[in-house]
A and B are shown apart, each in its own frame.
Chain A
Amino acid sequence: MKIDYKIQDKIDFAILVPAFLLAISGLIAVYSSTINHPTANGNFDRQFIFLLLSVAAVIIIYFLPILTFRWITIVFYVISIFFLVLVLIMGKTVYGAKSWLSFGLIGFQPSELAKLGTILLLAIWLSNRKQDINNIFDLGVSLSIGILPVFLILLEPDMGTAIVFIAIIISMLFWAGINLFALFVVISPGVMIFMSLFGWLGLAGGLLLVITSLLFFRRNIFTSLTVFVVNLSSAFFFEFIFRLLKPHQQQRIDSFLNPDLDPLGNGYNALQAKVAVGSGGLIGKGFMQGNQTQLRFIPEQWTDFIFCVIGEEFGFIGSLIIIVLYILLLYRLLKLAHTVKDKFSGLIISGMIGLFFSHFAINIGMNIGIAPVIGLPLPFISYGGSSLLINMALIGLALNIYRNRKQYV
Chain B
Amino acid sequence: MESSIFRYRIALWVIGIYGLLVIYQLFNLQIVNNTSFEEKSQENSIKKNVLSPPRGILFDRNFQVLVANKPSYTVRVTPADYDTSNNKILDKRLGEKPGFMKKILRQNRRFSSYIPVKIKRDADLPLIAWYEEHWEELKGIDYIVELQRDYSYGVKGSHIFGFIREISASQLRKMKEQYDMGDFLGASGIEKTYEDYLRGKKGYQFTLVDSRQKTVGRYLEGNADIEPGKGFDLVLSIDAGAQKKAEEMLEGKNGAVVAIDPSTGEVLVLVSKPDYDLSRLSTVISSDIWAEFMNDPQKPLFNRATMSIYPPGSTFKMVSAITALEEKIITPDFSVNCGGGYFYGNRFFKCTHVHGHVDLEQSIEKSCNTFYYQLILKIGLERWSDYASRFGFGRKTDLDITEENAGILPTEKYYKRIYGNADFPSGVLLSLGIGQGEISATPVQLAQYCALLANKGKSKKPHIVKGLIHSEDLTYIPLEFEDIDVHVSDETFDIVRNAMLKVVQGAGTATHLRMPELLIAGKTGTAQNPHGKDHAIFIGFAPFDNPKIAVAVMVENSGFGSTYAAPIAKEVITQYLKPSPPSQNLISSAGKPIDED
Q: Report A's interface with B, CB cutoff 8 A.
A: 35-36, 38-39, 41, 171, 174-175, 177, 180, 263-264, 274-282, 291-292, 294-295, 297, 311, 315-316, 319-320, 323, 326-327, 330-331, 334, 337-338, 353, 357, 361, 364-365, 368-370
B212 CB, min distance to chain A CBs, angstroms: 8
Given contacts A36-B110, A39-B181, A297-B45, contact A327 B2 (CB under 8 A): no
Contact A311 B110 (CB under 8 A): no
Q: A residues within 8 A CB of B594? A: none
Quick one: which of B244-299 are within 8 Å of A by CB?
none
Give B30's nearest chain A residue, CB to CB: A316
> Are B31 and A277 in contact, CB atoms less than 8 angstroms apart?
no
Question: Is B25 a contact partner of A279 (Cβ separation < 8 A)?
Answer: no
- A334 and B181 form a contact (CB under 8 A): no
CB neighbors of A among B10-56 (8 A)? 10-12, 14-16, 18-19, 21-23, 25-27, 29-31, 33-34, 36-38, 40-42, 45-48
Contact, CB under 8 Å: B41 / A334:
no
Residues of A within 8 A of B48 (CB): 264
Q: Which of B2, B37, B110 contacts A274 (CB 8 A)?
A: B37
Give B47 Cβ to nearest chain A Cβ, in Å: 7
Binding site for A on B (CB under 8 A): 1-2, 4-5, 7-8, 10-12, 14-16, 18-19, 21-23, 25-27, 29-31, 33-34, 36-38, 40-42, 45-48, 110-112, 114-115, 169, 172-173, 181, 206, 209, 211-213, 224
How far apart sit A35 and B16, CA to CA, in the bound complex (Å)? 35
Choose one: B5, B15, B31, B209; the contact of A357 (CB below 8 Å): B15
Given A311-B30, A319-B30, A323-B19, 10 additional A-B pairs, CB 8 A:
A177-B7, A278-B29, A279-B41, A281-B31, A291-B212, A292-B41, A294-B112, A319-B26, A320-B26, A323-B26
Q: List 10 A-B contacts (CB under 8 A).
A: A38-B181, A175-B11, A276-B41, A279-B40, A281-B34, A291-B45, A316-B31, A327-B19, A337-B8, A370-B25
* Interface contact A364-B15, CB-CB below 8 Å: no
Distance in angstroms from A307 CB to nearest chain B CB is: 10
> By the criterion CB–CB under 8 Å, are A338 and B30 in contact?
no
CB distance from A218 to the nearest CB of B (A): 13
- Closest chain B CB from A354 CB (angstroms): 10
Q: Which 5 A-B pairs have the closest CB atoms?
A: A278-B37, A291-B211, A279-B41, A278-B29, A316-B30
- Report whether B31 and A297 are in contact in the complex, using a CB–CB cutoff of 8 Å: no
Q: How far, in Å, is B445 (CB) from chain A's closest CB?
A: 36
Chain A residues with CB under 8 Å of B5's CB are: 338
Q: Which residues of A contact B173 (CB under 8 A)?
A: 39
Q: Is the beta-carbon distance between A279 and B38 smaller than 8 angstroms?
A: yes
**A282 pairs with B172, CB closer than 8 A:** no
| Min CB–CB distance A261 → chain B (angstroms) | 14
Q: A356 CB to closest chain B CB, in angstroms?
A: 10
Q: Which residues of A contact B26 (CB under 8 A)?
A: 277, 311, 316, 319-320, 323, 368
CB neighbours of B169 from chain A (8 A): 39
- CB-CB under 8 A from B34, the residues of chain A are 278-282
Q: Which residues of A contact B45 (CB under 8 A)?
A: 275, 291-292, 295, 297
Question: Are A175 and B7 in contact (CB-based, < 8 A)?
Answer: yes
Known interface pairs A323-B23, A338-B5; A275-B15 also in contact (CB < 8 Å): no
Contacts of A177 in B (CB 8 A): 1, 4, 7
B33 to chain A: closest residue by CB: A278
In the complex, A362→B161 CA distance in Å?
52
Partner among A175, A277, A295, A330 whose Cβ is within 8 Å of the Cβ of B15: A330
- The residues of B that contact A36 with a CB separation of less than 8 Å are 110-112, 115
Contact between B46 and A264 (Cβ–Cβ < 8 Å)?
A: yes
Q: Are A282 and B31 within 8 A (Cβ)?
A: yes
- Per the bound structure, the CA–CA distance linking A38 and B181 in Å amounts to 8
How many angstroms between the C-alpha atoms of A370 and B28 in the bound complex? Answer: 12
Given the complex, which residues of B lie within 8 Å of A294, measured CB to CB? 112
Instruction: Output the nearest chain A residue to B32 by Cβ-Cβ distance.
Output: A278
Query: How many Å lie between the Cα of A127 and that of B427 in the bound state?
Result: 80
- Please give me the residue from chain A that is nearest to B108 by CB atom: A36
> When chains A and B are docked, how far (Å) is the Cα of A316 from the Cα of B24?
11
Instruction: Tell me, in angstroms, the Cα distance from A4 to B213 when the chains sit together.
Output: 53
Contact B110 A41 (CB under 8 A): yes
Q: Which residues of B contact A279 (CB under 8 A)?
A: 34, 37-38, 40-42
For A338, the closest partner residue in chain B by CB is: B8
Docked-complex contact B2 and A180, CB < 8 angstroms: yes
Q: Does A334 lie within 8 Å of B12, measured CB to CB?
A: yes
CA distance in complex: A175, B10 (Å): 11
Please, how many angstroms separate the alpha-carbon atoms of A349 and B169 in the complex? 42
- Given A331-B15, A334-B8, check contact A368 B22 (CB 8 Å): yes
Residue numbers in A under 8 Å from B115 (CB-CB): 36
Residue from the list B8, B27, B112 in contact with A316, Cβ < 8 A: B27
Contact of B12 among A274, A295, A331, A364 (CB under 8 A): A331
Contact A277 B29 (CB under 8 A): yes
User: Is the Cβ of B21 less than 8 Å from the Cβ of A370?
Assistant: yes
- Most B CB contacts (10 A, CB to CB) among A264, A279, A281 go to A279
A387 to B25, CA, bound (A): 27
Interface centre among B11, B48, B212 (most CB of A within 10 A): B11
What is the CA–CA distance of A36 and B181 in the complex, to the nearest angstrom?
A: 14
Most chain A beta-carbon contacts within 10 A, residue among B7, B23, B42, B47: B7
CA–CA, A319 and B19, complex, Å: 12
Known: A282-B30, A334-B8. A368 touches B111 (CB 8 A): no
Please state if A275 and B41 are interface contacts (CB–CB under 8 Å). yes
Give the chain B neighbours of A35 by CB distance below 8 A: 110
Min C-beta distance of A270 to chain B, whole Å: 13
CA distance A346 to B103 in the complex (A): 59
Task: Give every chain B residue within 8 A of A297 (Cβ-Cβ).
Answer: 45-47
Q: Which residue of A lies closest to B44 (CB)?
A: A275
Structural contact, B112 and A327, CB atoms closer than 8 A: no
CB-nearest residue of chain B to A365:
B22
CB nearest to A281 among chain B residues: B34
Q: Are the C-beta atoms of B23 and A320 separated by less than 8 Å?
A: yes
Contacts of B181 in A (CB 8 A): 38-39
